Homo-oligomer: A and B are copies of this chain.
Amino acid sequence: MIRVLLAEDQAMVRGALSALLRLEPDMDVVASAADGQEAWRLIEQHKPDVLVTDIEMPGLTGLELAQRVRERGATCKVVIVTTFARPGYLRRALEAGVVGYLLKDAPAEQLADALRKVHRGGRVVDPQLAVDAWSEADPLNDRERQVLRLAGEGLSAGEVAAQLHLSQGTVRNYLSEAIGKLGVGNRIEAYRLARQKGWL
């Protein structure tokens, strides 16, 4: 019997995934959580074999949750199930000791199989995504990332400068560098590209 804990913020999807796993005779969904904080409490309480978690959740993200599981020495395997095929996410996930990374685009039958494989000590990662993850490194440094994030939300150079205690010119320089590194034409495209790659 594989004891599973589910973390997913959208209640309807959470319930549906739970129903899906309950159909498997060798699976037991011991609990489910709507965010990372709650998931961590339930992990300590139930000691599940496998944690199945989304990435983008309020409070503690799935990636941060995976890190915590590793740091605090919890014994459970972590499998990420997410919408986002972002190389940066996968990379961070693997660095956090995650042993499975599935996309919500993948067929539903694949989930139970993946959990069994992981429970036996295997790894399951979308192969196409794995290639992208190691082929393209994040070219941005911390400052560029910060500046790009804020600029992408519509703040002007001056407003970004005020928030980060930098000068307006410096902000424009960082933005210019980020635009150059990403090979695009303006801050809007830079933000979109970085976001899509999971670098923001």
Which residues of chain B are near A23, meaning CB under 8 Å?
19
Q: When each residue 161-186 of chain A gets 1 if its CB lies under 8 Å from chain B and 0 otherwise, what string results? A: 00000000000000000000000111
Residues of chain A from 143 to 200 with CB closer than 8 A to chain B in the complex:
151-154, 156, 184-189, 192
Which residues of chain B are near A122, meaning CB under 8 Å?
none
A109 within 8 A of B: yes
Which residues of chain B are near A152, meaning CB under 8 Å?
188
How far does the alpha carbon of A108 sit from the alpha carbon of B192 in the complex, in Å?
33
Task: Indicate if the CB atoms of A156 and B12 lie closer than 8 Å.
Answer: no
Q: When each residue 1-42 of chain A gets 1 if its CB lies under 8 Å from chain B and 0 otherwise, what string results? A: 000000001111111111110010000000000000000000
How far does the alpha carbon of A193 sit from the alpha carbon of B105 in the complex, in Å?
28
Task: Indicate if the CB atoms of B153 and A11 lie closer than 8 Å.
Answer: no
A107 within 8 A of B: yes
Which residues of chain B are near A11, meaning CB under 8 Å?
104-108
Given known contacts A23-B19, A154-B184, is B83 in contact with A10 (CB within 8 Å)?
Answer: yes
Please provide the 10 A-B residue pairs with the shortest distance between their CB atoms, ordered closest to farther: A15-B108, A154-B189, A16-B16, A154-B188, A19-B20, A10-B104, A16-B20, A12-B104, A19-B19, A16-B17
**Beyond A11-B108, A153-B188, 6 extra complex contacts between A and B, CB < 8 Å:** A12-B103, A12-B104, A15-B108, A15-B111, A16-B16, A19-B108
